[in-house]
Structure 1
Amino acid sequence: MTIQEQYELLEKTVRGYNPAADFAQIHAAFAFADKAHAGQKRKSGEPYIIHPLAVAQIVAEELKLDSESIEAALLHDVIEDTPATHEDVSKLFSPTIADLVEGVSKLTRIQYATKEDEQMENLRKMLIAMSKDIRVILIKISDRLHNMRTMEYQSPAKQKQKSLETMEIYAPISHRLGMQRIKWELEDLSLKYLDPIGYEEIVSKLGVKQKEYDAFMQRTQIQIDDRLNELGIQHIVYGRMKHPYSIYRKMFNQNKNLDEIFDLFAFRVVVENVGDCYNVLGVIHDIYKPILGRFKDYIGTPKPNGYQSLHTTVMGTDGIPFEVQIRTRQMHEIAEYGVAAHWKYKQNGQGAGTEGRYEWVRRLLENQEGADAEDYIHSLKVDMFADEVFVFTPNGDVQNLPAGATPIDFAYAIHSAVGNRMVGAKVNNRIVTLDHILKNGDIVEIMTSKSAKGPSRDWMKIAKSSEARSKIRQWFKKERKEENIANGRAAFEAELKHCGISMREVISQENLPGLLKKVAYASLDDMYAAIGYGGFSAQKAVSRMHGELQRIAKQHQQEKQLLEAAEAKPSEEPRPAAPKKIKSEQGIIVEGLDNCLVKFSKCCTPVPGDEIVGFITRGYGVSVHRADCPNASPEKRMAPGQEGRWLKVSWGTDTNDSYPTSLEVVCKDRANLLLDISAALSTTNTFVLGVNTRSTEDGFALCRLEIRIRDGQQLRAVMNKLNQISGVLKVTRPAG
């Protein structure tokens, strides 16, 4: 296939699922990448552009992502491997695409003291990129998938290194994102190079028995199909064999040969709704004999990556066991494509970009705080890359823990106080040791005592989850808190003295809250304790406080100038002076002062075109209100202590691109009302920050819109458009 034919196939694939994509920009990205990579060759001898095209094809065919993702996939190596820069890509395409390309580019090579340090830093960067925009990792996984598909051209050492990295990092991340098809292929390709003999043995044995296996799967599929058709249940059923790596892992873990693998075959039944899932389960258990202890309900208890299905293992009429997975169409999409299945398309094919902000990504980033490289890598491999076990409290509540978890992990998952007071544990009503490995479906009861001495340091070695290890660490920090506080205070005061800052400035009632916020501690004692046990450094604390103290001093100076300007009364008419160019701040000119800190009040959210007044706040510059805001009423302005704090402000010529404001819409409740409001906002090119709606018992709906607009003219256009919607009674701007 020629390069042009490969590009035409890409366009055809994108048109198949997203006809509204920006094909002019996609072609421009292809042309730019082709020119940038001109003369470069891959190890196979092919022109380099073949690789970005193949990655874009995976992004389109496997993940069905938006136009921006396709463009970023085509451009993903230009910043790193060609003279093109982030700025070039940003100007020619968009800042978003430039950020995606930079995120996907290989991580910077830095010399680290240990392999763990390097791995930790690379993983940390990858997780941060994921938490900002999930498309970065989706494109990066596609990049790795194509590299693995063409790994035969690399040296044996490189093949093993890349395969191990894929197995340890990329396949588990694909699993965590729910992208099962890609995960399976990455695992199979890695196994091919990590254990070529084992891989070849499985593939050849499967090949020998292919006809026999195909006949069994066809017979079973017809049996299930016929019974469900008789009952009138709409469905799709199909069978598949376990993929080579899955078989290899079972053979290795359980020391079995291929004929002894318990569930070599799996059948999927995809139905219309959740009720049908449970109906089909009953039918399957009626046709075949269920194998006890092999049923899992991931619909009632979904996996953390959103995976939902019913799993049951049954004995077929031929005496061969097999697994049946039952799910709805939507569950099937999520099971196959994971996070990519959540991707929403706007009318022009651009993704919304917020689906990737997963709690587990943030949790993994938080767990690195205070942990050394070795411990962080351990927590990653356990929390993120291991399978989960689901266990129950005696009340029937489900706890999700990493595989290999112990009663210690369970106790701390419930509450740190339960873990700290634990003296023993029961599993399925039998007393067990604290290093007992929990299994799916176990009922775990923790025995506690108020006189318990607390966790032992050995628990750190037994606990599998980083949450338990972190809470045990916290307990030891707390036990030695007094000693830590004393040491931390001494180090902090020594650093203050070194920087010429007095303790009086720090503990001043006016300064202290802002300084504590800057170092992110609730009290000075908490900060001293952190410095004492090494979780925070005295240098870092003083450096952050020094910057805040300088800002406060500058603010006091500005406030003084503002009050002086407000109080100054000219004794005679001022003479006309030469026009002076006044510099505005955020589009606001403050009478009598340049470069003043300005903030917009949240009670009335003024925008250009509104009549406005300014209020001198204590420590935060000038707060700008709409003149009709109840908080800026004549009574408020004349209140005791307020007279000198109000001053004239006006809009400058250099206003911001947009300002946040709020609208309240009162309407008669009806179907598709929110759809019509969304369409009105879309046609006026209004950026929406948030929508909050509620229905009243008397048939009305109240809708609050948080939007960004350029000026009063655009705001009036938006309000007019909303007023034209059927059922809308009133559109107002809230104030006060």
Structure 2
Amino acid sequence: MMRQYELVERVAAYNPQVDEDLLNRAYVYAMQKHGTQRRASGDPYFSHPLEVAAIITDMHLDDASVAVALLHDTIEDTSATKEEISNLFGPQIANLVQGLTKIDRLDLVSREAQQAENLRKLLLAVSDDIRVLLVKLADRLHNMRTIQYVSEDKRARIAEETMEIYAPLAGRMGMQAVRDELEDLAFRILNPDAYATISNKLQALLERTGGMVDTISTGLRERLAKSGIEAIIKGRQKRPYSIFAKMQRKSVGFEQLSDIFGFRVLVENLEDCYRALGVVHTAWPMVPGRFKDYISTPKQNEYRSLHTTIIGPKQQRVELQIRTHEMDRIAEFGIAAHPLYKDGIAADRDRLAAESRAYAWLRQTVDQIAHGDAPEEFLEHTKLELFQDQVFCFTPKGRLIALPRGATPIDFAYAVHTEVGDTCVGAKVNGQLAPLVQALQNGDEVEIIRSEAQRPPPAWGSIVVTGKARAAIRRATRAHVRRQYAGLGRHTLERAFERAGKAYADAAFKNGLHRVGYTDVEDALAAVGRGDLKPEAVLRALFPDYREDRVHPILAASEEGWTAAGRTGLKFRLPPEPAVNGKKTRALPIRGLDKDVPVRFAPEGGAVPGDRIVGIMMPGEGITIYPIQSPQLGRFDDEPERWVDVRWDIAEDSSERFPARIRVSALNEPGSLAMIADVVGASDGNIDNLRMVERGRDFTEMEIDLEVWNLKHLNRIINDLRAKRVVSSVSRVNG
């Protein structure tokens, strides 16, 4: 194990003002608290926090972070308390240790809703001080390095958690070295066969290529030196998981990969980066389409580098990354390399948010939590943001917008502002009108065309790729449906109040909301529209002396309004026909089916324009429309509050179709079914479904679900069918 003085020396190597007393006290306290505890490997437990502290020193973090690494398991696994640590080491270190303790108690691989809630807690914990996440990542890295000592039943769970949560978080924070190692260690557990296969192929390739890495490194160094560029060349080999992921993503075999070997060219300053690129492209041919400039347009996690692929010595494709030493440090350690963590300076969240894109992403993700989305939606959003690579696009004013690869103009609109996304009706990409489903490319200039009358269709949710856009579309859809239900609820209450001889007003309803268990008028109206809150309950809440008169709400006043409903003992009074030529009607207008509007047609036979219709409020479903002759209406005789007066509102030239069901009895002979289908098709009807109800020796009875324009169209189809010799009878089914 590392000794006290060795730990202090590691910190002093990058921080001459190291607080030796703090580190020594933390070292002794943690060692005493863990005492004789042992890890699964048999090593003293204290060796674990010591190794975590060593990883933290590799990141060059401040003294407080090193002390927290030493103490991070004391509250969880020993008799130590937060108060004791606060008294000995100060409240800042105590809060950091407490934050890590809370994270340790999370189970991030569980049922989706629980996993989402745990991930919320993790991000909230680290958003207050990013050092909580940095120490946690170091803790997880050492645990993964020693995972072979963990019982077999726990290994897969820990590896899955590492692959799904911690490795992507490390990547988002720009800590690529930590991410690569975490992914590789988890991959070895989760897919040992693939890991072994790729490792063997890598070893065989190394033996076959011999000293190619040294040859290319020497050639590069000599070429750059001749141009007066001092550079350090580092050869590197892709890790097994990185190779596996690319094979899966590109659907290619191991032999088809051209960037298994790569080289990093480290130079002194920014100017030398571009000079080195010129030397490389002059000396060796470049592979077209393989150049990326992440210096002028850095990744969101602050990664900066020039990427290119050339045809090098022996016609071997060589991938090069050209960057400065400082860029290389940020590429390896990401946010941990930020100046705020050097020289013992504590984290300043406001400064860090302003200077660090990685931290800004974390704050933006935490802001998503505040919107109160469902846990599963939050989890989906976060995972989308964690795993996807990026493209960089521009607004017409030159603002840079970073988006996941595959993002659309809709994603772009929501990235600019939620209101821009909600009102988006079109887009111009590089000056040309483009489909909203088009995938954006690096460097595209995107102009969003807006309309205040627009609202985002729910179908957009399956088009967009960013969590922010998807969450905003769902919120807008829910708000729209809520408004629809609220409008229906207001209409229902107005009619109920009118029948009771009362006048409805939102102000009066607001005063009595507490009596029906709501705090917002809009919420209560939506509940009435959904059928969760009965109008009679509202009347009784506002007028305690109200007594319900159980009369069907759609009954007309005159005795002449009675009509037979088509079954014994049941009659309804029909509402008067809706007025025309500008005269008002109390009936709700019914058009076609819109999945955002809570209106649907009776599943037992539908309804078509021309039918006299009745609406029935169905809890949680809106209104179901029945033809007045439907025997199904008998089910609602004792619930008059659910009856809604409705009318058709269909333009004469409308081509919208409506559902109807007919029963056909036809001869059992070849071609009879085809003849029936020909009649429907010739009449411009559409068969939506067909069921054989009863099949006899000579005749078959079938039910056919049709889509027609109106009652006249339906009757024409019925008459044409009756005229065919193979058809014995045709009748309409009304449920």
> TM bucket by the smaller chain?
0.5 to 0.7
Matches of 2:440 and 2:271, distance apart in 1: 31
Matches within 5 A, 1:590-601: none
Matches of 2:108 and 2:11, distance apart in 1: 42
1:271–1:327 contact (8 Å) kept in structure 2: yes
The aligned residue for residue 374 of structure 1 is 376
The aligned residue for residue 590 of structure 1 is none
1:339–1:356 contact (8 Å) kept in structure 2: no
1:130–1:356 contact (8 Å) kept in structure 2: no
Deviates more, 1:379-388 or 1:436-445: 436-445
Matches within 5 A, 1:100-119: 100-107=96-103, 109=105, 115-119=111-115
Deviation at 1:268, TM superposition (A): 1.5
Matches of 2:60 and 2:510, distance apart in 1: 54
Q: Matched residues, percent identical?
A: 43
**Quick check: 1:46 aligned with 2:43?**
yes
Partner SS for 2:286: strand
Deviates more, 1:453-462 or 1:419-428: 419-428
Q: Looking at CA atoms only, which structure, 1 or 2, has the larger radius of gyration?
A: 2
**Structure 2 regions of 5+ residues with no counterpart?**
354-358, 491-505, 528-735
* Aligned match for 1:162, one of 136, 158, 165: 158
Matches within 5 A, 1:392-407: 392=394, 398-407=400-409
After superposition, give the CA deviation of every residue in 1:664-721 in whole Å (9 maximum; x if it has no partner). Answer: xxxxxxxxxxxxxxxxxxxxxxxxxxxxxxxxxxxxxxxxxxxxxxxxxxxxxxxxxx
Deviates more, 1:312-321 or 1:165-174: 312-321
User: In structure 2, do the counterparts of structure 1 residues 230 and 124 end up closer, same or farther at CA, with 3 Å as the change threshold?
Assistant: same
2:235–2:264 contact (8 Å) kept in structure 1: yes
Matches within 5 A, 1:4-23: 5-23=2-20
User: In structure 2, do the counterparts of structure 1 residues 491 and 393 end up closer, same or farther at CA, with 3 Å as the change threshold?
Assistant: same
Deviates more, 1:207-216 or 1:157-166: 207-216
Deviation at 1:137, TM superposition (A): 0.6
The aligned residue for residue 334 of structure 2 is 338
Matches of 1:491 and 1:134, distance apart in 2: 48
Deviation at 1:344, TM superposition (A): 3.6
Matches of 1:84 and 1:289, distance apart in 2: 63
Deviation at 1:224, TM superposition (A): 1.6
After superposition, the CA RMSD in angstroms is 3.4
The aligned residue for residue 469 of structure 1 is 470
The aligned residue for residue 460 of structure 2 is 459
Deviates more, 1:246-255 or 1:110-119: 110-119
**Quick check: 1:271 aligned with 2:267?**
yes
Matches of 1:139 and 1:530, distance apart in 2: 45
The aligned residue for residue 359 of structure 1 is 360
The aligned residue for residue 390 of structure 2 is 388
Matches of 1:490 and 1:39, distance apart in 2: 71
Deviation at 1:53, TM superposition (A): 0.8
2:461–2:473 contact (8 Å) kept in structure 1: yes
2:423–2:455 contact (8 Å) kept in structure 1: yes
Matches of 1:494 and 1:31, distance apart in 2: 65
Deviates more, 1:271-280 or 1:90-99: 271-280
Partner SS for 1:17: coil
Matches of 2:407 and 2:178, distance apart in 1: 28
Amino acid in structure 2 at the alignment position of 1:206? L
2:109–2:161 contact (8 Å) kept in structure 1: no
Matches of 1:111 and 1:144, distance apart in 2: 14
The aligned residue for residue 612 of structure 1 is none
Matches of 1:201 and 1:87, distance apart in 2: 51
**Quick check: 1:30 aligned with 2:27?**
yes
1:302–1:308 contact (8 Å) kept in structure 2: yes
Deviation at 1:147, TM superposition (A): 0.3
Deviation at 1:496, TM superposition (A): 5.9
Partner SS for 1:197: helix
Count, aligned residues: 503
2:273–2:323 contact (8 Å) kept in structure 1: yes
Deviation at 1:45, TM superposition (A): 1.5
Deviates more, 1:176-185 or 1:255-264: 255-264
TM-score, normalised by the number of residues in structure 2: 0.62
**Quick check: 1:261 aligned with 2:257?**
yes
Matches of 2:464 and 2:153, distance apart in 1: 35
Deviates more, 1:7-16 or 1:36-45: 7-16
User: In structure 2, do the counterparts of structure 1 residues 417 and 366 end up closer, same or farther at CA, with 3 Å as the change threshold?
Assistant: closer
Partner SS for 1:294: coil
Matches of 1:17 and 1:239, distance apart in 2: 26
2:486–2:523 contact (8 Å) kept in structure 1: yes
1:132–1:356 contact (8 Å) kept in structure 2: no
Deviates more, 1:395-404 or 1:46-55: 395-404
1:426–1:432 contact (8 Å) kept in structure 2: yes
Matches of 1:262 and 1:113, distance apart in 2: 35
Deviation at 1:191, TM superposition (A): 0.6
Matches of 1:110 and 1:226, distance apart in 2: 53
Matches of 2:162 and 2:129, distance apart in 1: 21
2:68–2:97 contact (8 Å) kept in structure 1: yes
Amino acid in structure 1 at the alignment position of 2:293? D
The aligned residue for residue 84 of structure 1 is 80
User: In structure 2, do the counterparts of structure 1 residues 41 and 113 end up closer, same or farther at CA, with 3 Å as the change threshold?
Assistant: closer
After superposition, give the CA deviation of every residue in 1:433-462 in whole Å (9 maximum; x if it has no partner). Answer: 54444444556565x475975321111222
Matches of 1:461 and 1:250, distance apart in 2: 25
Deviation at 1:46, TM superposition (A): 1.5
The aligned residue for residue 217 of structure 1 is 213
Deviation at 1:295, TM superposition (A): 1.4
* Aligned match for 1:325, one of 297, 321, 327: 321
User: In structure 2, do the counterparts of structure 1 residues 286 and 366 end up closer, same or farther at CA, with 3 Å as the change threshold?
Assistant: same
User: In structure 2, do the counterparts of structure 1 residues 10 and 308 end up closer, same or farther at CA, with 3 Å as the change threshold?
Assistant: same
Amino acid in structure 1 at the alignment position of 2:15? N
Amino acid in structure 2 at the alignment position of 1:168? E
Matches of 2:286 and 2:224, distance apart in 1: 18
User: In structure 2, do the counterparts of structure 1 residues 8 and 196 end up closer, same or farther at CA, with 3 Å as the change threshold?
Assistant: farther
1:484–1:533 contact (8 Å) kept in structure 2: yes
2:420–2:450 contact (8 Å) kept in structure 1: no
Partner SS for 2:35: coil
Partner SS for 2:392: strand
Deviates more, 1:192-201 or 1:32-41: 32-41
Deviation at 1:491, TM superposition (A): 8.7
The aligned residue for residue 146 of structure 2 is 150
Matches of 2:29 and 2:52, distance apart in 1: 16
Matches of 2:95 and 2:21, distance apart in 1: 20
Matches of 1:112 and 1:54, distance apart in 2: 24
Amino acid in structure 2 at the alignment position of 1:26? L
The aligned residue for residue 732 of structure 1 is none
Matches of 1:111 and 1:323, distance apart in 2: 40
* Aligned match for 1:172, one of 165, 168, 175: 168
Matches of 1:245 and 1:175, distance apart in 2: 14
